[in-house]
Structure 1
Amino acid sequence: MSRPDWVERLFSVDPILGEDDADLGITLLLARIGTNFSSNIHSIPRESQREILGIAEEVLESGDEEEKAAIATGFLEEILKAWDEGFDLKSLWEFVGPRSRSFCLDWNEFSGVASPEWMHQGQ
């Protein structure tokens, strides 16, 4: 089965995100992208950070249910996991769209993690 076009768009933004692996399901692939994104954030230009998070938001807005779930449980959860481990999510929160923000807040609540005030700004 072929990947949605937005997967290639993600990889084309910055090579540090890696490359497609046909052996991985879409959720695991997006988890890998999320790990690469958060682990290498200082090597990714700010505009590319914005674009990557914008693509995630587009998928949450208009993707099918599988795509939305993959972005949420693969990519965004991996970024939240990195934040729990010290990743500076606050520095790019301005690039996180409203659907992505809502997911992050809901996931924190579900997980019993207190969301800091900056996560609620603009909600």
Structure 2
Amino acid sequence: MPTPPWFSQLLEVSDVLAAKHRAYVADWPGDPEDENDVPPLLLRLADLGQVLAERSAELTPEQTRQVFRILEEVMTSGSEYDGTAVATGFFEALLNAWDNGFDLRAVWDDVGPESRAYCLAWNKFGGVESPDWMR
């Protein structure tokens, strides 16, 4: 499946995200001569969620807001495939990072309503009590 245009916009937000994505794709055991032989979108988004959590201090507040704006747009207006990849890839990786010490509260105000709803539902599904600041 081809990479959706919004994913390129996401990478253009930050050199940190773009550089990590290039490294992730370069390590993919596919055919390096085939530009379409890349990891599935869900895996690439999970990697970016982890990168954002690990290196959030390297993004400006505006870059962080822009990342979450793009992802919220996909969640609300993208295809079902893309929205599911964002939810189960990026946001589940971000919640996992929160479980491991990432300060999710620091970026929570930038997370859009549909994305927040998914995170809250995922917490509920997993038996994780969401703190008041998430609601």
Q: TM-score, normalised by structure 1?
A: 0.94
% identical aligned pairs? 42
* 1:13 maps to 2:13: yes
Counterpart residue identity of residue 3, structure 1: T
Residue 72 of structure 2 is aligned with which of 57, 66, 70? 57
Aligned equivalents of 1:109 and 1:62: distance in 2?
24
Contact 2:95–2:119 (CA<8 Å) still a contact in 1?
A: yes
Unaligned runs of 5+ in 2: 26-36
Aligned residues: 120
> Match of 1:101, SS?
helix
Amino acid in structure 1 at the alignment position of 2:38: D
Equivalent pair of 2:21/2:44 in contact (CA under 8 Å): no
Unaligned runs of at least 5 residues, structure 1:
none
Cα shift readout 1:45-79 (whole Å, capped 9, x = no counterpart) = 11100000111100001111110000000000000
Cα deviation digits, residues 3-36 of structure 1 (max 9, x gap):
1111000110002112353420000010011111
2:59 maps to 44
* RMSD (Å) for aligned C-alpha atoms: 1.0
Query: 1:25 is matched by which residue type in structure 2?
Result: P
The residue aligned with 1:2 is 2
TM-score w.r.t. the length of structure 2 is 0.86
- Displacement after TM superposition at 1:92 (Å): 1.1
Tell me the residue number matched to 2:34. none
- Structure 1 position 106 matched with structure 2 position 108: no
Taking the aligned partners of 1:51 and 1:71, their CA distance within structure 2 comes to: 15
Which structure has the larger Rg? Answer: 2
